Amino acid sequence: MSLSVVILAAGKGTRMRSNLPKVLHPVAHQSMVEHVIDSARAVDADNIYLVYGFGGDVLKARIQGDDLTFVEQAEQLGTGHAVDMASPFLTDDEDVLVLYGDVPLTKVSTIEKLIQAKQENSMALLTVHLANPTGYGRIVRLGDDVVGIVEQKDATAEQLAITECNTGILLANGGDLKRWLSNLSSDNAQGEYYLTDIIAMAHSDGQTIHTAHPDTEVEVEGANNRVQLANLERAYQLRKAEELMIAGASLRDPSRIDIRGNLTVGNEVQIDVNCIFEGNVSLADNVKVGANCIIINSQIGEGAEIKPNSIIENATIGELCSAGPFARIRPGTVMKTNSHVGNFVEMKNTIMDEGAKAGHLTYLGDAEIGKKVNIGAGTITCNYDGVNKSKTIIGDGAFIGSNASLVAPVTIGKMATTGAGSTIAKDVEDETLAVSRAKQRNINGWARPTKK
């Protein structure tokens, strides 16, 4: 049977104190609604309908996907009214899953449990047991059977004592859902069309309401203000930290790591505190990442070490390499096996071959650096003439003296040497020493300036 997902994303989020639609506020560098959309895709939804209201133009500009259909809810008249906006798109012979754009942490496995709970001539409802159910709709049962949901403001004292609560997430047949939505009434304390009222309608129709439950409460928590948003962020990060540790990583402090994308790890990976991983990052076996590092869309090879306070972006770091501390490895850089860059070294669009090293205080841009090359401190490749970028090529085994300026385009031959303090603007042949300095003068009797 086909599956359509309706995601409710029309709320303004007044308590966020923001001009941004509530569902676009981020958790782990991704908007809340994008997390929900990803979950819908993960359960192989055939159609995804995004019901929007406030900030529709911004929402459409930010959220992309050929599989998304945007449905406007011009007036916010309750959750039942919101789902009903998608009714013209729903077919009678499909299942319809309702999710919420501001509830980003529902696990795919939990949604799958809900889908499995639904049987023929029934619907499925995700409920949660809360120690403090204040504010939530209560699940009303007759024996074991769910017969309805009562909202907090409409509940009796006896019903307020119920701790099984509604999450709003449900799965129903499309034809049944459309019929129930068309019969909703706004005769309640809020004057809204409650989606929850369809539970009693299903029971009256003789349908069984099967229930499924999340593993933790945070899976069904939403964010109405920035405090709640921060709580979701921390919950998400702790979940990711636990997944990493189970996968073989040792975290110095699981509460001080930020995953803002997809991080995969091998065995015996060590990650120190305050590290940020963005985009798609992979850490192979025995990788060490020091404190305060930022790694973005990069691959780190087996046995490599990223020392503290380094930034790696769109780069490949090979086996047994080391970078940092305070290294900046920019896009297009490839470090091959056992190469090394030290403190305050910056590289961009550079290939560093096996065994090459640049110990400190160096800029290498648009360069090809051969095997076992030694780059002295203070060396820079002068790769930009104000209009064009040019390449520097350094052959295997070359030795670049400290404080050298290599003016591209230029090639330094194999086993060549450049003297410290030289500006090299012409090609250097293999096994040749190149020295380019002004003649030194020692002036006797020279008086230092004095303060006026």
Which residue positions form the known binding site for UDP-N-acetyl-alpha-D-glucosamine?
8-11, 22, 73, 78-79, 100-102, 137, 151, 166, 224, 330, 348, 363, 374
- Placement of tokens 């916010």 in the chain: 76
**Pairing status of strand 30-31 against strand 26-27:** antiparallel
Name the DSSP letter for residue 327. -
Identity (one letter) of the amino acid at 363? Answer: Y
**Pairing status of strand 68-72 against strand 249-251:** unpaired
Instruction: Check if the beta carbon of residue 71 is closer than 8 Å to that of residue 87.
Output: no
Instruction: Check if the beta carbon of residue 251 is closer than 8 Å to that of residue 234.
Output: no
> H/E element holding 209?
strand 208-212
> H/E element holding 176?
helix 174-182
**Annotated binding site for acetyl-CoA, which residues?**
377, 383-384, 402, 420, 437
**Annotated binding site for Mg(2+), which residues?**
102, 224
Identity (one letter) of the amino acid at 267? Answer: N
DSSP-derived secondary structure for 190-202:
T-S--TTHHHHHH
Q: Which residues contact 422 (CB under 8 A, 6 or more apart)?
A: 401, 404, 405, 434, 435, 436, 437
Side-chain-side CA neighbours of 2 within 13 Å: the count stands at 11
Catalytic residue (choose from 29, 210, 213, 360): 360
Which segments of 27-134 does DSSP mark as H helices, in order?
Answer: 32-42, 56-62, 79-84, 108-117
**How far apart are the C-alpha atoms of 301 and 298, rounded to whole Å?**
10
Side-chain-side CA neighbours of 376 within 13 Å: the count stands at 15
DSSP-derived secondary structure for 374-433:
EE-TT-EEE-B-SS-B--EEE-TT-EE-TT-EEESSEEE-TT-EE-TT-EE-S-B-TT-E
Side-chain-side CA neighbours of 313 within 13 Å: the count stands at 10
Peptide bond into 104 cis (omega under 30): no
**How far apart are the C-alpha atoms of 62 and 52, rounded to whole Å?**
13
**How far apart are the C-alpha atoms of 181 and 87, rounded to whole Å?**
9
**How far apart are the C-alpha atoms of 325 and 314, rounded to whole Å?**
18
**Annotated binding site, which residues?**
8-11, 22, 73, 78-79, 100-102, 137, 151, 166, 224, 330, 348, 363, 374, 377, 383-384, 402, 420, 437
Instruction: Convert 210-230 into a string of H (helix), E (strand) and C (coil).
Output: EEECCCCHHHHCCCCCHHHHH
Catalytic, 360? Answer yes
Point out the residues that are catalytic. 360
